[in-house]
Amino acid sequence: MRRTSRPSLNGACLVCLLASAPPALRAQTPTEMNARFQAMEERIKALESEVSTLKAALAAVPEPAAAPQAPPGPAPPQPMQPTSQTGAPAQSSDASARLMNPAISLIGNLLGAGGHNPVDQRPSLQMVESELALSAAVDPYARADVYLSFGEEGVEVEEAYMTFTSLPAGLLLRGGRMRANFGKVNTLHRHVLPWVDRPLVNSYLLGGEDGIRDAGLSVSRLLPSPGGLFLEAVGQVYRGDSSVIFQQRSRNDLTAVGHLRAYRDLTESTNLDLGFSFARGHHGEAELAGPYTIGEAAAPNVTLLPGDGNFLVSRIYGMDATLRWKPLRRAIYHSFVGRAEMVWHHRQEPFGLRKAFGYYASGEYQLARRWFAGVRVDQSDRLFGPRADDRQQSVLLTYWPSEFSQIRAQFRLPRPRSGRRQNLGRSPRTRLSGFPLRRAQTELHLQSPRGGPAHLGRPPA
């Protein structure tokens, strides 16, 4: 196609403009019309120049590659976030709220007893305690634990302490009201015991249910040891008041407790745990009103008299051993735990040193996933009143309906003995002739503790 020249195009535009011009414009003089035509021609040239520039700029820009587009879907609903008073979204969430609140659990412990026992005189039915546990991380380096015990006689702070886990030299510091780390049974709460009651050695020589428990400080550390051996040393200092065992008169009458623990895996399914304990404290003279008995308190009819002059001193030595067997392939169906503990209590009295010894040995075997059977043998000297050597055998059967509840039956055969030859140290010896054996008594105890998550669980070894 032949391209039309620019002068011909301009002339055609002028002819069209003149044809469409109004009559007033055609009446103008030739000079005015030439001036208007020149202005219009210059304006057309300027517009043509701008159009050419824009076309050149568009031709220089590369066309973008077409990206595949996914088919549009429905937009997910956006949850509504809580806003603050200023209109900004709140920063708190459920996770942070849980971190700020303590873990709370509650457990109840119902105990029933039948039969006759002249020493341990418990009621037929008793709600021995309802324990409320609160635990929370104060910060990344400290943790707080509180245990409140609600019983038929009132409310008691069983334990309340704070643990500092990130101290220099690998130390772990704990401060507050807590159970002393003496042996195994003294550190356990009632509902995690593997039996209905505490062994005779704990009831007679370590203060019973209360045990060695007081306000104090505890420092522990892992010790260097050969491969495969775990060693832990614990040193504790308490105010000096613990049941009928220790008594405080002044600030200097502190109770000191030490414990050394050794643990080792024997095989992939068997391990051995050994412990050695020592405790030293002060006390006054003891007064026994009536026959010697035990119960919820270690010795309800024993009273420590105010000390005159220098306080008397007691030293307690202990050794414990725990053997655990739990096969890896049948861990939820079969297991065995053997426990033993021995205690030597050397108590100063106005006329000499009274020495008492006691021990227990027990074994518990898992019959099935929810059934456990066990036996326990006890023997202990009495610390107060006429000297006697009491013995006891027990058979236990435990059923776990779930991880947080259990039903336990314990058949006890107590054998209190009236006396045997005793060594009073440097004091004159007292000899009681014969070993008369009282009529054997039988008892049946039923226990049903129930707890929330992270409180009851399986009893520790």
Per-residue pLDDT tens digits for 225-267: 888 899 999 999 999 998 889 988 888 899 999 999 999 999 9
Using pLDDT thresholds of 50, 70 and 90, give the confidence band for residue 113: confident
For residue 62, what pLDDT is reported? 66
Q: Say if CB 295 and CB 120 are below 8 A apart.
A: yes
Mean pLDDT is lowest, of 88-92, 241-245, 287-291, for 88-92
pLDDT value of residue 50: 84
Say how far apart CA 335 and CA 339 lie, in whole Å. Answer: 14
Check residue 377 and give its pLDDT.
Answer: 97
Check residue 77 and give left, alpha or beta (phi > 0: left; psi -120 to 50: alpha).
beta
CATH topology of domain 116-126+161-451: Porin (2.40.160)
Least confident among 182-196, 296-310, 427-441 = 427-441
Q: What does the pLDDT look like over 434-446, one tens digit per residue?
A: 223 333 355 566 7
Element (H, E) at 374: strand 371-381
Residue pLDDT, tens place only, 304-314: 777 665 678 99
Four-point Cα dihedral 449, 456, 148, 212, nearest 10 = 90
Across 407-428, average pLDDT: 63
Residue 40 backbone dihedrals phi, psi, to 5 degrees: -65, -40
| Structure confidence at residue 457 as a pLDDT band (50, 70, 90) | very low
Rounded to 10°, the helix 6-20/30-60 angle is 130
Asked if the model's pLDDT at residue 332 lies above 60, the reply is yes
With b for 16 or more beta-carbon neighbours within 10 A and e for fewer, the 30-63 pattern comes to: eeeeeeeeeeeeeeeeeeeeeeeeeeeeeeeeee
pLDDT confidence tier of residue 414, bands split at 50, 70 and 90: confident
Q: Which amino acid is at 77?
A: P
Instruction: Compute the mean pLDDT over every residue in the chain, rounded to the nearest whole number.
Output: 79
pLDDT computed for residue 442 by the predictor: 59
Domain ranges of the chain: 116-126+161-451
| pLDDT: which is higher, 35 or 254 | 254
pLDDT of residue 302: 73
